[in-house]
């Protein structure tokens, strides 16, 4: 975890900086994302570090992990015939009527 200095500066942990190819002098982007703040590393570096074969291998591994998780999930064989909510309920939830 990093602390914010009196000049509103933040130190990026070394492991994270190395993983995303962030070097001293790089410009990173801070983007508001709801209740969180996303840090966007310099473009092009992260995507260029992994080759197509490596990315496909990682994707296949993640897919296999997901399939394994799904085996242990108790999912209904068929979707319910009728829902107890309507699409409109999604837009009025939490609002007084």
What is the full DSSP assignment across 37-65? EEEEPPTTHHHHHS-HHHHHHHHHHHHHH
Q: Is residue 28 part of a domain?
A: yes
Q: Is residue 91 part of a domain?
A: no
What angle is formed at CA 36 by the lines to CA 31 and CA 37, rounded to 5 degrees?
Answer: 30
Inter-residue contact 13 to 29 (CB < 8 Å): no
Q: Is residue 59 part of a domain?
A: yes
pLDDT tens string 2-56 = 889 999 999 999 998 888 888 888 888 899 988 999 988 877 555 456 788 888 9
The number of folded domains in the chain is 1
Q: Is residue 46 part of a domain?
A: yes
Q: How many CB atoms sit inside 10 A of residue 70's CB? A: 9
Q: Is residue 83 part of a domain?
A: no
- Amino acid 83: pLDDT: 77
Q: Which domain holds residue 36?
A: 14-72
- Amino acid 97: pLDDT: 57
Q: Is residue 63 part of a domain?
A: yes
Q: Is residue 96 part of a domain?
A: no
Helix (H) or strand (E) holding 89: helix 89-92
- Amino acid 47: pLDDT: 47
């Amino acid at each position: 975890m990093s602390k914010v200095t009196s000049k509103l500066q933040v130190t990026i942990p070394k492991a994270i900086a190395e993983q995303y190819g962030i070097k001293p002098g790089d410009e990173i982007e801070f983007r508001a994302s709801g209740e969180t703040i996303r840090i966007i590393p310099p473009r092009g570096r992260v995507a260029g570090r992994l080759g197509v074969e490596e990315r496909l291998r990682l994707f296949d591994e993640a897919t296999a992990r997901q399939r394994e998780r799904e085996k242990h999930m108790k999912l209904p064989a068929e979707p319910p015939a009728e829902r107890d909510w309507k699409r409109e309920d999604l837009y009025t939830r939490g609002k007084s009527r």
